[in-house]
Amino acid sequence: MIINGTEIEETFAEAFGMAATRIIITAINPRWARIAGETMTGFATSVIGCGVEAGIESEIPPEASPDGRPGVSVLLFGMSGKALAKHLENRVGQCVLTCPTTALFSGMSGEKRIPLGKNLRFFGDGYQIAKQIAGSRYWRVPVMDGEFLCEETTARVPAVGGGNFLVLAETQLQALTACEKAIEAMLHLPNVIMPFPGGIVRSGSKVGSKYKALMASTNEAYCPTLRGLVKSKLDPTIMSVMEIVINGIGEDDVRLATRVGIQAVCELGAPAGIRRISAGNYGGKLGQFKFHLREVMA
């Protein structure tokens, strides 16, 4: 398969099951809502070292928010419901409770619930007040700028993590430019995040290492400086490879984001130095979800 001179390899991205939740952060203006969202999703690129993977899904206008103020929607993904709950509570307590003017709400419905303000209320030292509105429980916690309003729980749902594709280009700048264009297109989609810095990964990894303490290590087959020293998957024209990782609420969400991202890259195509599109997998041994690139783009 060739799109605008760029080859779509006959391979697949391998993804795995996760647990996810969505929360809504509102504030006095869009700037402070985004500051809270960016702060609580910092250091949340990979569960390998961060516990959860998280990102801002979208901005929410006042007319669509729970309290009539501007906000952001944040998605968080964990390897289990227990891990998700732990890291959600830590991040909310350190990054949203502390942020001026914010309030916090559940952003999804479901039977399986995890704490949101349920334990954070104790910060009020006995002065916190419960409020029941339309079947949901909220906590009003006194703080120095007024009060912190937080819904008691939020839902968690099954999700898909680790969808991905690789952009193989002639130069580093060409790979970066193509990935930036892909991210710009993908950011308009609901139910997905690209959790790495700016949505782009320069250090794609493989499972395991020669060093026993490491769970993952550099994917040498795609490192251009190691061509000639290892069994490389790069021909001499490729001098840079970058990856986009996609987490989504469902398989269809990841599949659509993959298609939109690859299509954006291929609009630049071979004239812009984009030689091939590939994907990372583990031979089908780890993840139950497989996104075959040519099927996605058909």
Q: Which domains does the chain have, with CATH numbers?
A: 2-14+159-297 (3.30.70.520), 17-157 (3.30.70.520)
Parallel, antiparallel or unpaired: strands 274-278 and 157-169 = antiparallel
Looking at residue 36, what is its pLDDT?
Answer: 98
122: which DSSP letter?
G
Q: pTM above 0.85?
A: yes
Residue with tokens 């809504």: 24
Query: H helices within 41-137, ranges in order?
Result: 47-50, 81-95
Look at phi and psi of residue 81 and say left if phi exceeds 0, alpha if psi is from -120 to 50, else beta. Answer: alpha
Residues 293 and 298: their CA atoms lie apart, in Å, by 8
Residues of the chain with pLDDT under 50: none
Q: Write the pLDDT tens digit of every residue in 227-238.
A: 999 999 999 999
Q: What tokens were used for 176?
A: 């970066």
Tens of pLDDT, residue by residue over 122-152, are 999 999 999 999 889 999 999 999 999 999 9
Task: Report pLDDT for 207.
Answer: 87
Cβ contact 111:157 at 8 Å: no
Altogether, the residues listed in the chain come to a count of 298
